[in-house]
Structure 1
Amino acid sequence: MNKDVGYNFLKSAITLSNPYMSLDDFMKWLEEKKASTHHNIQEIPFAELENWEFERETGNLVHSSGKFFSIEGIQIKTNWGNVKEWTQPIINQPEIGFLGIITKKIDGVLYFLMQAKIEPGNINTVQISPTLQATKSNYTQVHKGNPPLYLEYFIEKREDVNILLDQLQSEQGARFLRKRNRNIIIEVTSDIQVNEDFCWLTLGQIKELLKLDNVINMDTRTVISGISYGDLSTLKQFALTNSSTVEYDFLISELDTKNAMNTVEDIISWITRLKAFAELEVDKIPLKDLNEWTKDEFSIHHLQQKYFSVIGVRAEIGNREVASWTQPLVKSAQEGIIAFIIKKINGVYHFLVQAKMESGNFDIIELAPSVQCLTGNYRKGLNEYEVEFIDYVLEPEKNKAKVLYSSFQSEEGGRFFEEQNKNMIIEVGDDFSVDLPEKYNWMTLNQIKTFIKFNNYLNIQSRSLLSVVRFIN
């Protein structure tokens, strides 16, 4: 990685002052966007979906164009975990979409061009999304609407564009079938016109806003999670003297390359060994043939009302490429918990990661947070398995643990209806053993960022949670 790139990212990450839009000004601007943009989202029966239909032979829910996405059925067989076989609905969207952020250096600081965007499933109407957030069907205009703003900066070869980050990253493995998006950050060196629904923010401001519930959307979180800041030589270029804060310790974990408990080679061998013995057989089956799932006028749902359902909505949003449309959305049964447990080992914060298999994973296993319980299945008696380390999340004080971060963050509103999960980072002390069950391991932030650079290692829940890590108090 170019050291200048890491330096510029870190400088932006520790900068809160913004002469173009302070955080107070931003919150006023965001409220104005909520008030001024016409939006109306309604749940509707499937019969009122336009250009969507259930196929006669399979019962799959598909779009008339054959594009966008479909709701299909899959059957899973595995030797991983307590449940060896099940069926479920899943989103099949084989396209690779764009999640792109434009940056520009202004007065020596890298600014991020962020968009105030309403998605039909957003929990609080407007959230801050990347500059470009578009499926292939969107940017090729299958919907016959306008092309997304700033698309040309990402698909054309331009002399005024430098690529700072470019990765293929996975979507939710339990909801999407092998879905990936291109996460990309570019720097524009020429003048650029800022549309009224966009604003310039520093990376430090974005991370500050992540302390709030449901302001920064999941697509922004996954893109910025991939940012690397170099090594300890980067730190020498900054006059950061307060070394007694958690934020400074996070930065050391991000930059340190010598004090990790495990080598990168050790971690690769651990993942490879688990993948070699793991079995995951996923077969497409007709949606109408799912076991323990049923369809009525308004939803496709589990017979015990567990996990999630599929519903239909009508969306009217004034500033979108298409002002009105209908579509299916996935609706979670309950909110969940996503948490990283961290511990100082060799004087450096290590993150407890778990190897997690999900039905839609591209390569069997991805690295997930220490605790990942979606749809409330961490509650006693409601899950098919015991959740490791859940007591440290539900009762941290009782377990001598300290909550360093806690907020509600929502899933992506273009596919999920008002779904949010509690995101937490919890520090444990010396009494928490460094010895772990087989499917868990310790990694520094620097090591995690090494794995994020490559496809299909870190799942979207871990990337989303890692985005909240801040380096200034």
Structure 2
Amino acid sequence: MPEPSANAIARWLARCREHSGLVVEHIPFSQCLEWSFVDGVLQHSTGRFFSVVGLHCDDGPPHLKGLALPIIDQPEIGILGFVVRRGKAGWEWLLQAKTEPGNIGGTQIGPSVQATQSNYLRVHGGRPTEMIELFTDGAGMGRRIADVEQSEQGDRFLGKYNRNMVVEVPPQFKAPVQDAWQWFQAGEVRQALAQDFMFNTDARSVLCCADWTLLCDADGAGPFAVWRHQGGFGEQLLQSFEVSLPASGHAAAVAKLIEVRETCALQVSAVPLQALPGWQCNDWAIECEQPRTDPVVRPFRVHSADREVRHWCQPLLTNRAEGRAVLVCTRRDGVLQFLLHPSVEPGFTERAQFGPSLLTGLGHANPDALVAAIDACGARAHLSVRQSDEGGRFKDSVARYEIVELPTEAAEQLGNSGAWVTLSALRAMSSERSLLSNELRSCISLLLHWA
């Protein structure tokens, strides 16, 4: 059987982008009529959706202590859910072409349902959220395969979580007739995971938390099994996936993360945006006084023909520099293992989660030895994908996500500040709440290209 391609998904997405009619215009706060500053907080007139607040790190690791930044406060738990079904050729996924103002290209692939609580409760007064009942009404509407709360980015969201869900529906299920939803085979999804600006961060998060068997072909051999006896990186992934959980590094990694959470001295306090140290507020932006420091909060007017509400205004956190997230791997004791970094971030309610081996951006620090090893000539980049980070809240926030293999001897020089785990451990941790950060889940989604 020929290898599935992502061409059909790309053609469909291009058509949806053309039809979205997305227009995003930077405006002053004084024209963003439903948003205002109240007691130092930028908030919507309803008090719903989200707010932008000022945060100061009073104590914490050296790279965080004294840090001040604007951060999104959105305490509602959203729903990110994929609908799947069994087709004649194997599993099929219902993809949504989701238009968001901050996305590169405007429209990217999201989960079948991607909605904040304010949206699916129709606080905006717009159209109902399609298929929301599959994820809110419980038994009888479909078989729930995955349901786990996971965090948003802890450096730009304050305690924000979403339910990452997958629901299987019977063949007779009637999907929305709009062009914004379309069924694709698992193989097509796998191939599209390797393309820039194709899947949004929410879709990648749910794919990481799903049963990876749903991305396999119809033969039922299991994730990565197609690479057995084929050699190369694919077979290394299979061997790492098949390591038994007791030997996978899972328990030691979780213990290390718990220790970081218990010993970290992170303390944060709220500060009015207009009094945020080192930042300035004017009618056009909230920005750091140090040039080129991201994010910058700017207000925008948005028009989109394919959203529940076609016209609205909102603030977005904008970036000027491209970020980088790298998941490092190497062979240890004959098995491919991945380096996880315990990342302390001011927006995590549990203080720390495992992030990628390397992550750039405000409030992140990376050892010089790690950066040098990743960029050395002996390192091998197996996959590199650029993606927009949360286009509903961030604009022009682009990061390059990479899987980089280091020579064993180079990896041994990095010390023991992180945790080395197998792919089987990553799979187990992805089904648990708040162990893996949003950026790490996006990195893991790249590995599913080989599933």
Whether 2:76 is the aligned partner of 1:95: answer: yes
Query: What is the identity percentage for the equivalent residue pairs of Structure 1 and Structure 2?
Result: 28
Q: Contact 2:83–2:167 at 8 Å: present in 1 too?
A: yes
Q: Contact 2:96–2:111 at 8 Å: present in 1 too?
A: yes
**Aligned equivalent of 1:340, options 327, 332, 336:** 327
Which segments of 5 or more consecutive residues in structure 1 lack a partner in the other structure? 1-13, 378-382
Pairwise mapping of residues 365-384 of structure 1 onto structure 2 (< 5 A)? 365-374=352-361
1:36 partner SS:
helix
> What is aligned with 1:323?
310
Task: Give 2:185's aligned amino acid.
Answer: T
Q: Give the TM-score taking structure 2 as reference length.
A: 0.92
> What is aligned with 1:245?
232
Indicate how the Cα distance of structure 1 residues 444 and 371 shifts in structure 2: closer, same or farther if over 3 A, else same.
same
**Aligned equivalent of 2:124, options 139, 143, 149:** 143
Give 1:434 deviation, angstroms.
3.5
Give 1:219 deviation, angstroms.
0.6
**Aligned equivalent of 1:404, options 382, 394, 413:** 382
Q: Contact 1:170–1:456 at 8 Å: present in 2 too?
A: yes
Q: Comparing 312-321 with 438-447, which one deviates more in the overlay?
A: 438-447
Give 1:243 deviation, angstroms.
2.6
Indicate how the Cα distance of structure 1 residues 453 and 148 shifts in structure 2: closer, same or farther if over 3 A, else same.
same
Q: Give the TM-score taking structure 1 as reference length.
A: 0.88
| Cα distance in structure 2, aligned partners of 1:239 and 1:35 | 37
2:321 partner SS:
coil
Give 1:242 deviation, angstroms.
4.2
Which segments of 5 or more consecutive residues in structure 2 lack a partner in the other structure? 214-219
> What is aligned with 2:194?
211
1:342 partner SS:
strand
**Aligned equivalent of 2:406, options 385, 406, 428:** 428
| Cα distance in structure 2, aligned partners of 1:238 and 1:438 | 31
Give 1:472 deviation, angstroms.
4.0
> What is aligned with 1:45?
28
Encode CA deviations 1:110-146: one digit per residue, 9 max, x unaligned. 1110011110111111101111000000000000001
Whether 2:142 is the aligned partner of 1:156: answer: no
Q: Contact 1:311–1:329 at 8 Å: present in 2 too?
A: yes
**Aligned equivalent of 1:109, options 87, 90, 93:** 90
**Aligned equivalent of 1:226, options 209, 215, 235:** 209
Indicate how the Cα distance of structure 1 residues 241 and 353 shifts in structure 2: closer, same or farther if over 3 A, else same.
closer
2:347 partner SS:
coil
Q: Contact 2:228–2:235 at 8 Å: present in 1 too?
A: no
1:432 partner SS:
helix
| Cα distance in structure 1, aligned partners of 2:283 and 2:224 | 62
> What is aligned with 1:165?
146
Task: Give 1:310's aligned amino acid.
Answer: V
| Cα distance in structure 2, aligned partners of 1:109 and 1:205 | 11
Give 1:296 deviation, angstroms.
1.5
Task: Give 1:180's aligned amino acid.
Answer: Y
Indicate how the Cα distance of structure 1 residues 169 and 15 shifts in structure 2: closer, same or farther if over 3 A, else same.
farther
- Number of residues of Structure 1 aligned to a counterpart in Structure 2: 442
Whether 2:263 is the aligned partner of 1:283: answer: no
Indicate how the Cα distance of structure 1 residues 435 and 163 shifts in structure 2: closer, same or farther if over 3 A, else same.
farther
1:68 partner SS:
coil
Task: Give 2:173's aligned amino acid.
Answer: D
Q: Contact 2:9–2:192 at 8 Å: present in 1 too?
A: no
Encode CA deviations 1:238-297: one digit per residue, 9 max, x unaligned. 6654431312322332232169463x3322222222222111112222222210000122
> What is aligned with 1:358?
345
Give 1:414 deviation, angstroms.
0.2
Give 1:228 deviation, angstroms.
4.0
> What is aligned with 2:216?
none
1:351 partner SS:
strand
Indicate how the Cα distance of structure 1 residues 111 and 280 shifts in structure 2: closer, same or farther if over 3 A, else same.
same
Task: Give 2:31's aligned amino acid.
Answer: E
> What is aligned with 1:6?
none
> What is aligned with 2:217?
none
| Cα distance in structure 1, aligned partners of 2:157 and 2:228 | 45
